[in-house]
Structure formats: structure tokens, C-alpha cells
């Protein structure tokens, strides 16, 4: 049914995958192939630049900001994404008192979740 649904162009794309006999009968192999084909290609260097350039907007909650940053960080080639996100968080916070509190607390044992909890608590008290 999938091959009928994707049409002639889709079948041409599928033919370029060189699926094994066993994989050609598994629907998940086809879905994965089409997802990989349709997913936009990104450059990890552009993603690193975007991660370094991202700013927390004045009305952004920390959760909205970190969600945008996580999406960008997924395309980076870092192995420690949480550490990169924490460094980005320190650099872009618009509230200097929160930044000072996080820098004072930052040790190797401080996790991204702990840092986010501090920022969330501060945001909650401000509201």
C-alpha cells in the first residue's frame, strides 16, 4: 500500500536504497528511508553558530528558550549536549542576578536540570 501511496517518484526514491530482501518486506525500513530522504540536511557548523548566537527573548520563559536551544543542539556534533546547553544558558540569560547565582553554583556536579530548576524558581518568584 505504501508503494502505491508514494507514487512513481516515491518508488524511484525507494529503488535507490538497495534494501535487502528481508528489509524490503518490513514497513519500518521504508518509513525510515523516506524520513531520511525528506528530513532537511543540516550542517553541524551552522548549528553550532546558531547555538552560540541564540538569545533568550525578554518574554521567553527558561523552558521556551531551552527547548529552542535543544532543537539546535541536536544538530551539533557535541557528545555532551547538556554541558553545551548549560554554557549557552550562562551566556544568554537576560537576567544578571540569575546568571551570577548560576555561575557561583556552577561546578562539575551541577547538572543542566539543576541549573534550570534555579532559573525556574527565580522566574516563578518574579511572576
Instruction: Report pLDDT for 67.
Output: 92
Find cell 525500513 and name the residue: 29
- What is the value of pTM for the model shown? 0.47
C-alpha cell at 109: 556536579
Q: Report the percent of the chain where pLDDT is more than 70.
A: 91
CATH 1.10.1200 location in the chain: 44-126
Instruction: Report pLDDT for 97.
Output: 84
Architecture in CATH for domain 44-126: Orthogonal Bundle (1.10)
pLDDT at 63 over 80: yes
**Pair 72, 51: CB distance under 8 Å:** yes
Work out the number of other CB atoms within 10 angstroms of the CB of residue 114: 14
C-alpha cell at 88: 549557552
Per-residue pLDDT tens over the stretch 87-125: 788 777 888 888 788 777 766 677 889 889 988 998 888
Per-residue pLDDT tens over the stretch 15-58: 888 788 887 788 788 788 888 787 776 666 678 778 888 888 88
Conformational region of residue 18, where left means phi above 0, alpha means psi within -120 to 50, and beta covers everything else:
left
Amino acid at each position: 500500500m505504501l508503494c502505491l501511496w508514494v507514487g512513481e517518484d516515491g518508488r524511484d526514491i525507494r529503488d535507490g536504497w538497495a534494501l535487502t530482501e528481508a528489509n524490503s518486506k518490513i514497513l519500518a525500513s521504508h518509513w525510515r528511508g523516506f524520513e531520511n530522504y525528506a528530513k532537511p540536511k543540516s550542517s553541524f557548523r551552522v548549528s553550532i553558530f546558531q547555538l552560540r548566537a541564540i538569545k533568550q527573548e525578554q518574554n521567553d520563559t527558561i523552558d521556551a528558550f531551552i527547548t529552542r536551544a535543544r532543537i539546535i543542539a541536536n544538530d551539533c556534533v557535541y557528545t555532551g549536549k547538556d554541558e553545551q546547553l548549560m554554557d549557552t544558558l550562562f551566556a544568554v540569560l537576560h537576567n544578571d542576578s540569575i546568571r551570577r547565582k548560576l555561575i557561583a553554583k556552577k561546578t562539575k556536579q551541577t547538572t543542566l536540570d539543576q541549573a534550570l530548576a534555579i532559573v525556574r524558581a527565580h522566574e516563578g518568584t518574579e511572576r
